[in-house]
Structure 1
C-alpha cells in the first residue's frame, strides 16, 4: 500500500480504477485482481477503511466508526475470517439502564418496560412499521407501492399521525440518531422504512443476542481493510483525492493531484454527496447531480471512557443505557474482559457535543455517565472521542448513513446505482439488503466487480 504515487511517468494504465478504499472499494479490487484484472484504488484520506476507523483508549483498540457484525452478516464475516480477524461477543449480561423523563430505572431485554401502556404502544408502532416495510422494494424503494406518499412525510410526522406516546417517540429518536444521524423529523418515512427492511427489521436492528449488535471485530473493523489493502499492495494509494473523471467511447481517465490514470472503467464508492467533490466530464445527469445535493450524511459522534475495571458489572449492570436527554443517548460495554480495563462506548448527539472544546465534551460525557452508573464513573483513567461531522473528516463527514429528507428518495434514488457511462457506483448507500452496514458495503463491491468483469469479458483468471 503506497502513501503517495511515485512513478517516473505521470500517466498510469490499468483496466479498472476504483475511487475509495473502504469495504466496497477494496472488496471490488480484490475480486477483480483474482480474475487477472489490473486495478488501481485511490483514496483521499491518508488511511483505508472509510467509515471504519480504529482508535485506542487505555491500551484497548476501539471502533471510532462502524462497529458490529451480526450472524446474518455473512459477507463481512467471511472477509474478516479470510483476513485473520476474529469476533468478540458484545457483552450484555445484567440489567440495562434507562434515563427517561428525568428518572433513572433499570430493565432487561431489548426494550424497557416503562409501563404497560408504553410497552403496548411500542408494540403497536413496531407492528405498523413491520407491516409497511413488507411493502418496500429494498433494492429500489422509490418503486414501492405508495412510494410518493411515504416519501412525502418524515418518519417523525408519521409517528405524530399515529399518536405515538412520548416513550415510543423517544426510543424511535434513539434509533434514528444511531442509524441516520438525525431526528425522526429529519428523515423521510420511505427512507427510514427502506433502511429498517434492509437491516432485517426493528428487532434485528436493536437486539444484541441474535441481532445487529451481537459481535464486534476483536482487532477492530478497520483492521479488516488494513489487512486487505496490504494484500493488494501498491495497487492501493492513500492520501490521493480524485479531482476529475473524464470519459469517452474508449475509456475513462481519473485525475488526481499527482497523476492521471487511464482505465476502461471506473468504480466510484464515495458517499453520494461526495460525488459532488469530483468534476465529471461529461457532467453527471440532472438526477445524479440532485442526488449529491439531497442524499447528505447525518451527523454522529462517539466517545470512549475507560476505567480500571468494568465496575458496573459487579453491580449487575450490562453497560447498556438509553437516555432521552443530554449529550449521551446510548452506551455499550466494550471492555476486553472482567479484569479490565473497563470501557464504555457512548454515542453522542453532535448538536450538544461537537460545538464544545474537547475538555468540555469530556466533562459533559463523564457527568452523564455518573448519572447513569454512579460516582465511580467520575474517575476514568482514559478518554477518546471522534466527531464524524467536523472538519477533521474532510471526506464523507457525518453519520453512518444519509439523513434523507422527504421527497429525495423518489426523486433521486434511481441515480444511486445507474452507471454514468463507464463510471459505475458502489458503496454502502447503493446496497439493497443490508444497506447501512459493512456487510452491505462488501456486497456492493462484489456485485460491481462482477458487473465490470462481464463488461471486460473476464470469466476466469488468476491473481495478478
Structure 2
C-alpha cells in the first residue's frame, strides 16, 4: 500500500472541509482529482475498497512480475489513457499476437491468422452484419444517441433480434457473442441495438469513426497493447501523486446538498464541500442515499444500467510453451465452450507464461456457481484445445470474479436493455445540483474502457473548474 494513502477513514464523528469530494479512486475519480488539484482546488478522494484502481487490479506473480486481473488492453484512438500513461512515465508493450490463433467449434480446433475466424458457413453472415453495423453506427450522434433518426426503432429491439432478422444463419451471431462475452459480460440478447451501435460508434476518437473491427482487433485494435507493470499502476501512481488526499476503506453512504454546499457521509466521517464528483458505476451510485432524492428519471437510469457478469481465469506456466509451436495463445470459442475467448497474458519478458480466458455472460452463468475445481478443470481443458495438453498442468491458477467484488458487482461495463436510452438516456451525465458524475459509463468514446474512464474524469473536472471559477 503506498505510504501516501490514508488506510482508513478519519476518527468517528470527524467533520472536514474541502473544495471538492471525489467518490471513487478508480481511473475516472483519480484523473478528476488530479486535474482539480492542478487547478488549485483542495480535494479528498473517498474510496470504499482497501485499494485504488477500481476495475483494474494487478495480480502478483512473484519476482517483480504482475499480470492483470481486471481491465488491461489499450489500443489506437484511446488517446486519453495513453496520454495519461505518458505523463506518469508508464510505458506500454505489445500484447503477444505472433503466430496462429485458434478457432474452436464443436470440439474442432482450426488455426487461422487475422481477427476473424475462418468459419466458411459463418463468413457471409459476418460480412453482412459488420457492413450494416458500420453503416448504422455512423448515424449515431455520440453525445445523444437517442436523437438518432431511427433511435426509437433501434432501441425497441435487442441486438440479437436484429441480427437474427437480417442474417440467414447463426454463425455471425455466435461469433459476435464471443466478443460480447468479454466486452459486455453479456450477450447480444441483453443489449439494445441502439446501445450497441452507440458503443461501436465510440470505438474511435474525434475525427476517427468507431468501428467494430477496431473493437475486436489485436493489431491496430483495442487489444493491441498492455501497460508495463500492469494497468493498476496508473491508479497507484496517481494516488501517490495526490499525496495523502486518497482515503481508503471509506464507503460513502449518503450525500446531502443545499444551494451552497454538499455533505458527503461515510461510516465514520463527514466531508463538507462546494462540489462532489461521484465516480463509481451508475448502479452503485444509485445505492447512495441522496438528500434531496435523485430525480426519479436519473435514479431509474442508474439502476437500469446493470453490469454484465465477467470472470477472468488465468493459468501460469514456467514459460509460454505455445509460442515454440507457432501459436499466439489467442483462441475464439463458438457457443458451447467454457470460455468465450483467451489470450497470451504473459509479462513483457515472456516469463512466466500466462494464459487468460474470459468467462462472460452465458459462460459465467453456466460456470460461476459450480465448484472451483470443476471450473478450473473445464477452463484448462478449453486452453488445451487451443495450445495443447501442456495447458492442463499449470504451476498456478487463479480467478477474478468481478460479480463477487462488493464495490463493483459485475463487469466489465454497464449495458442498456431496450428502451433505456430513448426513455432515460438524457439523464446520464446531467449534474444533480452540485453533484457531478464521472466514470467509464459516462463516456461517449470508448464507453466502458479505461480510456473512457480517463476521458470522463477529465471532462467532469473541467466542468467543475469552470463552474467554480
Does TM, normalized by the shorter one, top 0.5? yes
1:261 to 244, 249, 271: 271
In the TM superposition, residue 340 of structure 1 has moved relative to its aligned partner by 2.8
Taking the aligned partners of 1:261 and 1:340, their CA distance within structure 2 comes to: 46
Q: 8 Å contact 1:57–1:383 — kept in the other structure?
A: no
State the Cα deviation string for residues 173-205 of structure 1 (Å, max 9, x = none).
Answer: 112211111111111111111111112211101
Corresponding position of 1:273: 283
Corresponding position of 1:387: 401
The answer to whether structure 1 residue 418 and structure 2 residue 439 are counterparts is no
Taking the aligned partners of 2:156 and 2:225, their CA distance within structure 1 comes to: 36
The answer to whether structure 1 residue 68 and structure 2 residue 73 are counterparts is yes
Taking the aligned partners of 2:439 and 2:349, their CA distance within structure 1 comes to: 37
Q: 8 Å contact 1:56–1:384 — kept in the other structure?
A: no
Corresponding position of 1:251: 261
Taking the aligned partners of 1:8 and 1:308, their CA distance within structure 2 comes to: 49
In the TM superposition, residue 308 of structure 1 has moved relative to its aligned partner by 1.7
Q: 8 Å contact 1:2–1:238 — kept in the other structure?
A: yes
Corresponding position of 2:182: 178
In the TM superposition, residue 217 of structure 1 has moved relative to its aligned partner by 0.5
In the TM superposition, residue 3 of structure 1 has moved relative to its aligned partner by 1.1
State the Cα deviation string for residues 396-447 of structure 1 (Å, max 9, x = none).
Answer: 2111111321111111211110011110111111111121211111111111
Q: Which runs of 4+ in 1 moved over 6 A?
A: none
Corresponding position of 1:289: 299
The answer to whether structure 1 residue 365 and structure 2 residue 379 are counterparts is yes
Corresponding position of 2:328: 318
Taking the aligned partners of 1:338 and 1:79, their CA distance within structure 2 comes to: 24
Taking the aligned partners of 1:145 and 1:57, their CA distance within structure 2 comes to: 51
Corresponding position of 1:201: 211
Taking the aligned partners of 2:449 and 2:386, their CA distance within structure 1 comes to: 29
Taking the aligned partners of 1:378 and 1:207, their CA distance within structure 2 comes to: 28
In the TM superposition, residue 28 of structure 1 has moved relative to its aligned partner by 0.7
Corresponding position of 1:352: 366
2:236 to 214, 226, 250: 226
In the TM superposition, residue 164 of structure 1 has moved relative to its aligned partner by 4.8
In the TM superposition, residue 223 of structure 1 has moved relative to its aligned partner by 0.9
Mark the runs of 5 or more structure 2 residues left unpaired by the alignment: 204-209
The answer to whether structure 1 residue 77 and structure 2 residue 96 are counterparts is no
Q: In structure 2, the residue corresponding to 1:335 is in which secondary structure?
A: coil
Q: 8 Å contact 2:11–2:268 — kept in the other structure?
A: no
In the TM superposition, residue 338 of structure 1 has moved relative to its aligned partner by 7.2
In the TM superposition, residue 339 of structure 1 has moved relative to its aligned partner by 5.6
TM-score calculated relative to the size of structure 2:
0.94
Corresponding position of 2:207: none
TM-score calculated relative to the size of structure 1:
0.95
Q: 8 Å contact 2:317–2:395 — kept in the other structure?
A: yes
Aligned length: 454
Q: In structure 2, the residue corresponding to 1:168 is in which secondary structure?
A: helix
Q: 8 Å contact 1:310–1:338 — kept in the other structure?
A: no
Corresponding position of 2:143: 139
Corresponding position of 1:34: 38
Corresponding position of 1:153: 157
Q: How large is the Cα RMSD of the aligned pairs?
A: 1.5
Taking the aligned partners of 2:350 and 2:453, their CA distance within structure 1 comes to: 35
Q: 8 Å contact 1:326–1:352 — kept in the other structure?
A: no
In the TM superposition, residue 86 of structure 1 has moved relative to its aligned partner by 1.4
State the Cα deviation string for residues 287-313 of structure 1 (Å, max 9, x = none).
Answer: 111112211111111011111221111
Mark the runs of 5 or more structure 1 residues left unpaired by the alignment: 458-464
2:391 to 377, 390, 395: 377
State the Cα deviation string for residues 303-333 of structure 1 (Å, max 9, x = none).
Answer: 1111122111111111010012222111111
Taking the aligned partners of 2:441 and 2:350, their CA distance within structure 1 comes to: 39
